[in-house]
């Protein structure tokens, strides 16, 4: 009897959690989106040249409906041409990395998978280093990083396809090998690079930064982002089913290998695009899906949008620290590691409890 009572209590609290969760499936994304909007406006006003938030709003609104001009031309240039691309970029990159993390964790059925597990970042770094060595322009660096990132993950998928046994394990092992190979390649490029200008450029690129973000980069990243996100959004329920295991998913009518390949390719497009414009920004793709899962649960159809919004918000905030904390800009990759790693240790110590 006592057991039954305890049981009833457990179920009541569980039921409460589920109802709460269901209501939150609607409210959480809305609240996060509003926070993101407010965060973006505050970020636009922050900087060495301060612009009041109200002017920021008026400058932006003026683009849609003409308003009486209460701001200076300098303000407009700073907000629209310098800060806006960078802030949009921070949001897009955070969103892309988190979406990739959530997708990889789902299709690898492992909450520890991160976007760079299949060597996407190592590939991008190699491509960028190669481009810097060859004296390419900034845009050339972005393109080559993007292509090498896709190429390396493509090779990983092909290698894993031909290996027998567990596909997930093969993919991860092939990813580790490819990553190690590409890092060696990058090290060699650093060795032969001109130490006065090329080597610092490579090193700086690998620290990750949004400092050089221009509207052109935003346009460059938006297209692969959209292409990568569409399959993820469409296949959201299939991905949820896949998380419980290949064989069970298959007996419920899901094609695990095909689905995993499509999701990996789409997610890789997101990482490749974001890494190629921002350099190596670690931890976001691992930590943000974790936090999001605690907020909203594991169902991919809701985890994906919540992770994307959380990721955008997180990187927006961190980028503000990166550009405003010190006179000299701190590379954002260093900051995300400083925040992400201790937070992850906290998660490990507290014990993994995925609701």
Partner 1 sequence: MTLMVRNLSFAYSFRDILKNVSFQTSQGEILAVLGPNGVGKTTLFRCILGFHRHYRGSILVQGREARTLNSRKLSSDVAYIPQSHGHAFNYSVLDMVLMGTTSSINPLSVPGKRQEETAYDALARIGAEHLAGCSFSHLSGGEQQLVLIARALAQKAKILLMDEPTSNLDYGNQTRILQQIRLLADYGYTVLLSSHNPQQALWYADNILAMEDGSVVAFGTPDDVMNSNLLKTLYGIDIALVHSDYGTLLAPQLFGDHDTSRGEKLHATMDR
Question: Where on the chain is the footprint of partner 1 (CB under 8 A)?
Answer: 10-11, 14-15, 17-19, 21, 106, 109-111, 234-238, 240-241, 243-245, 247-248, 250-255, 293, 297-299, 301, 354-355
Closer to partner 1 by CB, 162 or 327: give it: 162
Closer to partner 1 by CB, 138 or 301: give it: 301
Answer whether 88's CB lies under 8 Å from 108's CB.
Answer: no
Closer to partner 1 by CB, 26 or 237: give it: 237
Q: How far is the CB of 90 from partner 1 (least distance, A)?
A: 29
Answer whether 211's CB lies under 8 Å from 264's CB.
Answer: no
Closer to partner 1 by CB, 194 or 248: give it: 248
Tokens for 160, please give them. Answer: 């894993």
Answer whether 119's CB lies under 8 Å from 249's CB.
Answer: no
Q: How far is the CB of 319 from partner 1 (least distance, A)?
A: 30
Contact partners, residue 274, CB within 8 Å, separation at least 6 = 92, 93, 96, 97, 221, 225, 281
Q: How far is the CB of 36 from partner 1 (least distance, A)?
A: 24
Closer to partner 1 by CB, 51 or 171: give it: 171
Q: How far is the CB of 231 from partner 1 (least distance, A)?
A: 9
Please classify residue 277 by burial: count the beta carbons closer than 10 Å to its beta carbon, then call 0-12 exposed, 13-18 middle and 19+ buried: buried
Closer to partner 1 by CB, 50 or 245: give it: 245
Helices (H), 243-331: 246-251, 256-278, 284-296, 300-324
Q: How far is the CB of 230 from partner 1 (least distance, A)?
A: 10
Tokens for 202, please give them. Answer: 């490579």
Contact partners, residue 27, CB within 8 Å, separation at least 6 = none
Structure-token match 């295991």, residue found: 245
Q: How far is the CB of 307 from partner 1 (least distance, A)?
A: 13
Q: What is the DSSP letter of 165?
A: S
């Amino acid at each position: 009897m006592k057991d039954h009572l305890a049981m009833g209590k457990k179920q009541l609290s569980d039921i409460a959690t589920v109802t709460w969760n269901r209501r939150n499936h609607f409210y959480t994304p809305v609240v996060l989106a509003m926070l993101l909007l407010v965060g973006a406006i505050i970020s636009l006003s922050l900087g060495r040249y301060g612009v009041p938030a109200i002017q920021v709003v008026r400058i932006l609104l003026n683009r849609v409906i003409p308003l009486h001009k209460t701001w200076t031309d300098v303000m407009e240039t700073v907000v629209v041409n310098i800060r806006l691309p960078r802030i949009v970029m921070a949001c897009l990159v955070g969103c892309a990395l988190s979406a990739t993390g959530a997708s990889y964790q789902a299709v690898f059925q492992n909450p520890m998978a991160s976007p760079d597990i299949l060597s996407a970042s190592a590939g991008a770094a190699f491509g960028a280093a190669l481009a810097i060595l060859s004296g390419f322009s900034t845009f050339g660096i972005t393109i080559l990083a993007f292509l090498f990132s896709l190429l390396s993950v493509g090779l990983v998928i092909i290698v894993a396809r031909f290996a027998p046994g567990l596909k997930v394990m093969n993919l991860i092992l092939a990813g580790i090998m490819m990553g190690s190979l590409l890092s060696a390649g990058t090290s060699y490029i650093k060795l032969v690079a001109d130490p006065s200008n090329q080597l610092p450029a490579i090193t700086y690129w690998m620290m990750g930064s949004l400092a050089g973000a221009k509207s052109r980069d935003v346009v460059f990243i938006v297209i692969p982002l959209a292409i990568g996100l569409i399959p993820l959004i469409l296949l959201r329920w299939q991905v949820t089913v896949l998380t419980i295991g290949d064989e069970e998913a298959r007996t419920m009518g899901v094609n695990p290998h095909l689905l995993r390949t499509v999701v990996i390719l789409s997610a890789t497009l997101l990482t490749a695009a974001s890494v190629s414009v921002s350099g190596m920004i670690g931890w976001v793709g691992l930590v943000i899906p974790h936090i999001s899962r605690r907020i909203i649960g594991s169902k991919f159809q809701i985890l994906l949008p919540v992770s994307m919004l959380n990721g955008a918000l997180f990187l927006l905030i961190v980028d503000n620290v990166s550009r405003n904390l010190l006179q000299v800009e701190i590379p954002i990759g260093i900051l995300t590691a400083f925040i992400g790693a201790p937070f992850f240790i906290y998660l490990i110590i507290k014990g993994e409890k995925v609701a």
